[in-house]
């Protein structure tokens, strides 16, 4: 194709292009995985889970001819999304990842639908945080005990511990996420935990 060293998907026949004019609800939303798209996030997964109809278009090599997306935009919403700063040979794996993220948010998929509220990046209190450590049974495994607070039955203390651990893990692995918090989003305990983790708070410099 013009301007590219590798082959890309050619425009399909008109009969093979996704149909469904936006004037006929509920119309589909076309999602095209591409490294040049907007980053796919949990917020996308939540929004897509509420859509009545999704269509995915998987490109190969250099991707799909740009005219396909242009034509589709005259008929339906089109989102070009990326899984990250890397390139795959095709979009199939990217679509599988998105379907996994979207599907688990649909009613009836998870045994406890409320559990997603504590996931990393979940809308609300976890939107800019990574989930902290997870523990299951038994309470002691290979001489490694579950933190006592999790066995206490004190829901407030458990929630505070989870918040603290989420802040620590985010400061350690994804500190750029913490920059999304407004000052009023952090209480005094949050600030103390972040200081202990070496993250700058209130304009302070990074701790040594």
Residues forming the active site: 35, 62, 104, 119
Taking Cα atoms as reference points, which of 131, 134, 179 lies closest to residue 194? 179
Report the alpha-carbon distance of residue 160 to residue 177 in Å, rounded: 20
The length of the chain is 208
Token couple for 150: 């999790």
The rounded Cα 100 to chain-centroid distance in angstroms is 11
């Amino acid at each position: 194709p013009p301007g590219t060293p590798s082959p890309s998907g050619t425009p399909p026949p008109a009969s093979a292009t996704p149909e469904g004019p936006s004037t006929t609800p509920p119309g589909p939303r076309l999602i095209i995985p591409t490294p040049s798209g907007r980053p796919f996030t949990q917020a996308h997964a939540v929004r897509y889970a509420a859509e009545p109809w999704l269509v995915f278009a998987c490109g190969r090599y250099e991707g799909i001819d740009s005219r396909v997306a242009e034509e589709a935009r005259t008929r339906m919403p089109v989102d070009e999304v990326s899984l990250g700063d890397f390139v795959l040979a095709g979009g199939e794996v990217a679509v599988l990842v998105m379907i996994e993220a979207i599907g688990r948010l649909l009613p009836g998929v998870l045994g406890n639908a409320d559990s997603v509220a504590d996931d990393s990046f979940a809308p609300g209190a976890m939107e800019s945080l990574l989930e902290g450590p997870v523990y299951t049974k038994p309470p002691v495994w290979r001489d490694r005990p579950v933190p006592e607070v999790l066995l206490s039955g004190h829901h407030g203390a458990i929630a505070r511990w989870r918040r603290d651990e989420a802040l620590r893990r985010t400061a350690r692995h994804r500190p750029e996420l913490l920059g999304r918090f407004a000052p009023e989003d952090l209480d005094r305990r949050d600030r103390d935990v972040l200081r202990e983790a070496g993250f700058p708070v209130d304009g302070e410099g990074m701790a040594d």
